[in-house]
Amino acid sequence: MILLILRFRSKYIPLKTFSFLFLLTFLISCNTENKPIVPIPSNAPNEAQLKQIARQYGMFIHFSINTFNDIPWSDGSLPASSYDPTTVDAEQWVKTAKDAGMNYIILISKHHDGFCLWDSAYTDYDVASSGNDTNVIEEVAKACKKFDMELGLYYSLWDRKENGNAYINGENTVPYTYVKDSVADQNYNRFMINQLNELIDITQPYTDVVEFWFDGGWTKENYRWPLNDIYQTIKSRVPECQIGVNWSIGLPENIDYHAVYPEDQKEGYPIRYFPSDFRLGDPMLPANPDPKLFTHKDKTYYMPWESTVCLSERWFYNTTDSTYKSIAQLTDLYQKATAQNNILILNAPPNREGKIRAKDQEILLELKGQIDSLEGSL
């Protein structure tokens, strides 16, 4: 019998030994690939969180079917054809943020109505069925690459078109609570994961998504959302992307309590939507002092706060929206929101011509002057 041997780094290894080492390496590799991605417990920000904190200041862009109907929320019944921008000037949006001294943008990809700003393979309620089929997600990603601006995406978990409008406690009662339907939940959860992969597919040729901003979680108990699948899907493809869900913190006696405001959050309170990386609660500012350490299954996690606030009175463009916060108010807001290692995004909604309004640009530039003066004096 001939003993087969292999040469490895100037030493000869029997084939039987080599086979064992190969199998061991393969098993370790498989175990690593299947290992779930979860936040690491810590009393301090991790590297990706430090990058988010360093971004500090960004722009929220609300632009969708509501822009063309003078309403803040809709239920999926508006015809897709009513979305009909004259143009989609994504470069103007991103350049406006850049000129204002902002470091990233958060773009609405899908709001509560379910209308998608890209041509999704999983629904017809999108730009491809509208009066302007521009893939807004792709155009903004291209513009971010051109102007060296980082990109985040807002995505509503609550989808009144795809996931129904059946409430336990009535149409006009907050929080809205969906009737429990495990089959509908499973179908919709798969729908969401598919759409999140579409969004990453669209953006990755141009830029990585640095943040996913999820909304509408309060319409169901937290266990009904595929939070682990969402986290795995995003982190496996964009490892440093930060993930947050609006109204992020619960009460010790009721993790689904809605809503626990910043001033009521205490160190050690439970993370309502786990896994996630940072806290949201629009349009609130952080408390002072702001607790940063929250828990899940007796482990502690560091979570900064991101404030989201309107320049004017509306999230989406509205023909009656003409009242703006003063520069003094915005300057004070900026100081409070970005202190204590926290983050601010200001909402500047494009109009029906697909452009950010001249008044918004003027205010943002004036605010930049105030911010530069403040930071120059430090």
Q: At 116, give phi and psi (nearest 5°).
A: -105, 135
- The dihedral built from the CA positions of residue 245, 248, 254 and 260, taken in this order, carries a sign that is negative
Residue pair 126/118 in contact (Cβ under 8 Å)? The answer is yes
CATH class of the 56-376 domain in this structure: alpha beta
Could you count the other beta carbons within 10 Å of the beta carbon of residue 267? 12
| Beta-bridge partner residues of 294 | 301
Residue identified by tokens 């390496």 is 25
Neighbours of 96 (CB within 10 A): 24
The pLDDT value given to residue 1: 37
Q: Which residues of the chain, if any, have pLDDT below 50?
A: 1-13, 15, 17-18, 21, 24, 26-32, 172
The C-alpha atoms of residue 304 and residue 278 are separated, in whole angstroms, by 5
Place of tokens 């943002």: 364
